[in-house]
Amino acid sequence: GSVGRINPGVEAKIIDPATGEELAHGSEGLLALRGSNIGDGKGFVRTTDLALLDEDGFLFIRGRNDNAIIRGGFKILPHDVIQVLEKHPAVREAGVVGIADTRLGDVPAAAYIVKTGASAPTEDGLRAFLRERLMPYQIPVLLLAVDELPRTPSMKISQPALKALLEQELARREFSRTEPP
């Protein structure tokens, strides 16, 4: 699962995202790099990669701290997709997460709540709306209308619960396409 060792001439450390303190080997945190070709070449530059370095110097990437979705090398910020979804006249609120894809790495998937009194848009209609406002790689592979989005105790959208919901729906749709008549 390692991505290998750090390139010669580059220093790496793992830091606590909140405090900036360096963490011990084997601890997960933000990857920070320093090298002559990075930043000003003097100080460490924080990345948004969640990572760990083991005692042998092997680097393991565990995800993104900024919730960015990397789809075939293109970076997608969920917030950008959410803003466009919520501009649709029938969408009250939306959430977007990355879903694992064997070919592209991760792909965006979205769930949304329809405004009270509005008719739910068709999936094709909503996709057409998004195509006019987003780059093709930003368009979610799944658009799911829900009555409520999963929430944390502080009423924020629960990213893990939303991801589980969308993965389950994607699996259900894949199964129904392959199920014999």
| Cβ atoms of 4 and 58 closer than 8 Å | yes
Q: Tens digits of per-residue pLDDT, 89-104?
A: 999 999 999 999 999 9
pLDDT of residue 133: 97
Q: In the structure encoding, which two tokens stand for residue 32, read together?
A: 């920070």
CB-based contacts of 175, cutoff 8 Å, min separation 6: none
CB-based contacts of 86, cutoff 8 Å, min separation 6: 92, 93, 94
CB-based contacts of 65, cutoff 8 Å, min separation 6: 17, 30, 48, 49, 50
pLDDT of residue 180: 64
Say which residue, 118 or 66, is predicted with more confidence.
118
pLDDT of residue 63: 73
CB-based contacts of 39, cutoff 8 Å, min separation 6: 45
Percent of the chain whose predicted confidence (pLDDT) is above 70? 98
Question: Is residue 181 predicted with pLDDT exceeding 80?
Answer: no
What's the whole-number mean pLDDT along residues 137-146? Answer: 97
